[in-house]
A and B are shown apart, each in its own frame.
Chain A
C-alpha cells in the first residue's frame, strides 16, 4: 500500500525540496551580482584577463558578464520594461549622450572613481567615463590580397577588388563611409548628412554594392569574415584586427586612411542595485597601471592620464592615437548622431529589409 503512494509522496517531497530554490528567486533578483556588459570576442577576453578577474579576486565577490552589440534602444528597453539586469555597460559616444538625456543612466560620481583629473578631458562627461579610444578602419587579409585597398573609394570598387564587403549593420559609420567613398571631404561629411540630399546620396552609393555587402553586428565578426574569406575587405574595430594578427597568427592589413575615430564609455544603469560596486570597479580599472595593460593585448588607447607612458612604443604605434594613424581620421560626431540616430536607423532598417 505504501508503495502505491510512493509516486505521489515522491512528487510532493521533490516539490518541497525545491521550494527553497523557488523562493530564493526574487531574492536573487534583488541582491544580484555586479553585471558588466561589454562587446565580446577578443576584446572582452582581454578585459576579462586584466580587469574582470583581478577585480573579482580583489573584491572577493562574484562578477557576471554579458555581451551586447550596441543600440540605445536595447538600453531603453531594459529600463522601460522595468526588467533591467545590467549594471555597468560600455556604450558608444552617442548612446552616452542620448541615454544621459533620457535618464537611462546614473550620473557619474567622479569623486568615487578617482577624480576628474585622472582622465583625459574627452573621457569626462555627465553620465559616463570614457574607457577606450578606438577607430573603425578598413581591414583586409594580406594572405588573400597582398596589395590591399587604400581608401573607402576602393572599398566600393568591386571591379578592382572582387569579393564581398563587410559593413556594420546600422547607419552609423556606414553612411559616413559611403560619403567618404563618394569623394566627400571628411570635414563636409556631417554637414552633408544633415540634409536629405546628403542622406539620399549616401544610400545611392550603398545601393551600388548592396548585393555584395555582408552585414555584421558583433565586433568579433569582421575578423572571422576576413579569416574565412567570406569578405574580401571589411569595416572593423582596429583592435580586433591587430588582435587577430597577434593571437591567431593572421596577416590582416589595415588602411588607416580616413579611419573613423571615437571613444567608448562606461555608464552605470539607472537605479542599479550595485552602484557602489560598479564605482569600485571603475576606480580599479582607472588606475594607470591597470589601464596600461590593455593596449598590448588589444590595440585600443587608454583614457587614463599617465597610462600611455607605461606602454611600449611598438604598441603605441598600433593605436588610433599614433600621429601617423590619426592624420586623416574623421572623428565620429556624437552630436550629429544624438539628433539623427533614430531617424536614420529607421530609414536604414527599412532600406535593408526590402
Chain B
C-alpha cells in the first residue's frame, strides 16, 4: 500500500503540473463552445421576458419595454467603466443574426434619449428590424447560460425561430467543407507518407549493417530539423523567383516562372516532407524486430516473393504501419504553420480557423467549437487504432 502511494506521489508533481497548465486550460477553453455569457448581463430583463415566448409572431410588450430599460442601463455602465459590454453582446448576436452589430449599439444610443410613444412603436421607429421575430429569437437563443449555437454552427446547422434545427444559410455554411478538406489533406498526406515510407523503412531494415547508420541519419537529420526551417525551405524552393523556377528557366524547360506556391500541392508536398520520418521510424522499428526466418521459411515452402511479403512480412510489420499512420494522421490534422505559409485561401485546414476566430475576430465560442471538432476527430482515430492494433504494441521509435 505505502509503496503504491509513494509511486503515486512521484507521479503527482507532473500530473498536477499538466492538470494546471494543460488539462484545465483546455477544458475551460472548450467549455466556451457552449457557454453563453455575453448577452444575459446586458439584457437580463429581456432574456427573462422572452422565456415564455413561443417563437411565433412577435413577443409581448414586456419584452419591448425590457430591451429599452436594459440597454439604457448597459450603456450607462459601459460609459462609466469602459467594459464594452454592449459591443460584446452585439458581436455574439451578430453571429446568429447579421445586422445586430449595428442594431444593438444604435438602439442603445437612441433609447438613451426620450422616446415617443409606447415601447413597441418606439423600437419599431428606431429600426424596423425590431418589428420582425428574428432578432428576438436570436436574443432568446443567446440568453444562456448554455446553448448549442456554436456546436451547430460548425456543422453548418442552426436553430430557426421555433427552435428546430435547420441547415444554415448557404453563405454561412462553410465548415463541413473545411472539415472534409482537413480530413482529406490529412488522409492524402498519410497515404503518401506510407507509400514512400514503407519501401524506405524496408530498405534500411534490410541494408548491410555498416550502411544502416548512414541511411538512418538521412531520416533523422530532417526529423530533427525545425519545422519552420523546413517550411521556409519549401517557400524558397517553390516561390516565383526561387531555386526551382530559376533552375527550370536556366535549363530552358520553361520560359515563364511557374506559380508553384500557395496551392494545395505545395502544402501537401511540405507536409509529406515534414511527416515522412514519423512514418519511416516506427515501420523500421517493427521491421527490425521482425524474425526474418519466417518470410524465408515461407519462401522455402514455395511461396512467391510477393506472396511471402503479403502473407508474412507485411502482417508482422503492421503494428509499425499502424503507429506510423496514427502519428502522421494526428499530426496532419493539427497542422497550422505550414498551410498558413504555403497555402492559398482555400487550402487552410481547421487549425487555421481556430487561430482565425481566436486572434482576428474574438469569437472564442467558435474557436472552441472548432477545437472540439478537431479533438473529436483525433479521439475517433485513437479509438479506431486502439481497437484495431492496441496501444500496448506501440513501440517507442
Contact = CB atoms under 8 A, between A and B. Distances in A.
Contact present between A and B (CB < 8 A): yes
B72 interface: no
B287 to A, nearest CB: 35
Contact of A339 (B95, B102, B240): B102
A248 interface: no
A102 B94 CA distance: 15
B359 A77 contact: yes
A343 B84 contact: no
Interface in B171-210: 171-172, 174, 177-178
A96 B169 CA distance: 32
B82 A270 contact: yes
B361 A73 contact: yes
Interface string B297-315: 0000000000000000000
Contact of A350 (B83, B174, B262, B359): B174
Contacts of B241: 228
Contacts of A343: 94, 98-99, 101-102
A76 B362 contact: yes
Q: Chain B CB within 10 Å — which of A76, A169, A347 has the most?
A: A76
Contact of A342 (B81, B91, B106, B346): B91
A158 interface: no
A101 interface: yes
Contact of A340 (B83, B87, B102, B345): B102
B345 A103 contact: no
B105 interface: yes
Interface string B360-380: 111000000000000000000
A342 B98 CA distance: 9
Given A215-B345, A353-B346, A354-B177, A102 B84 contact: yes
Interface in A326-354: 339-340, 342-343, 345-347, 349-354
Given A101-B87, A270-B82, A342 B101 contact: yes
B358 A77 contact: yes
A74 B361 CA distance: 7
Contacts of A229: 240, 257
Nearest to A215: B345
A353 B359 contact: no
A266 B105 CA distance: 24
A80 interface: yes
A354 B348 CA distance: 10
B134 to A, nearest CB: 14
A104 B78 CA distance: 12
Given A228-B241, A339-B102, A342-B101, A353 B178 contact: yes
Interface in A61-107: 71, 73-74, 76-77, 79-80, 101-104
B83 A103 contact: yes
Contacts of A104: 84
Given A71-B360, A215-B345, A354-B177, A103 B84 contact: yes
Interface string A264-284: 000000100000000000000
Q: Chain A CB within 10 Å — which of B172, B358, B359 has the most?
A: B359
B262 to A, nearest CB: 8
Given A339-B102, A351-B171, A354-B177, A228 B240 contact: yes
Contacts of A342: 91, 94, 101
Nearest to B169: A350
Interface in A91-137: 101-104
Contacts of B239: 228
A353 B105 contact: no
A103 B98 contact: no
Contacts of B346: 352-354
Contact of A80 (B88, B98, B171, B262): B88
Contacts of B345: 169, 215, 352-353
Interface string A206-235: 000000001100000000000011100000
Given A71-B360, A73-B362, A339-B102, A350 B172 contact: yes
Nearest to B109: A101
Contacts of A350: 171-172, 174
A350 B175 CA distance: 10
A74 B363 CA distance: 11
A61 to B, nearest CB: 28
A228 B256 CA distance: 12
Nearest to B181: A353
B348 to A, nearest CB: 7
Q: Chain A CB within 10 Å — which of B87, B95, B105, B241 has the most?
A: B87
Nearest to A105: B82
A347 B82 CA distance: 29
B176 to A, nearest CB: 11
Contacts of B83: 103
Nearest to B257: A229
A340 B99 CA distance: 8
Contacts of A353: 174, 178, 345-346, 348
A285 B316 CA distance: 72
Q: Chain A CB within 10 Å — which of B91, B95, B348 has the most?
A: B91
A58 B27 CA distance: 48
Nearest to B173: A350
B82 A103 contact: yes
B171 A347 contact: yes
A118 B348 CA distance: 47
Contacts of B81: 103
Contacts of A76: 87, 361-362
Contacts of A351: 171
A354 B101 contact: no
Given A80-B84, A102-B84, 13 more contacts: A73-B359, A77-B358, A77-B361, A101-B105, A229-B257, A339-B102, A343-B102, A346-B95, A346-B172, A349-B356, A350-B172, A352-B346, A353-B346
7 contacts: A76-B87, A79-B84, A228-B240, A228-B241, A230-B240, A343-B94, A346-B94
- Sorted nearest first, the 3 A-B pairs with minimum C-beta distance are A103-B82, A102-B87, A76-B362
Interface of B: 78, 81-84, 87-88, 91, 94-95, 98-99, 101-102, 105-106, 171-172, 174, 177-178, 239-241, 257, 259, 262, 345-346, 348, 356, 358-362
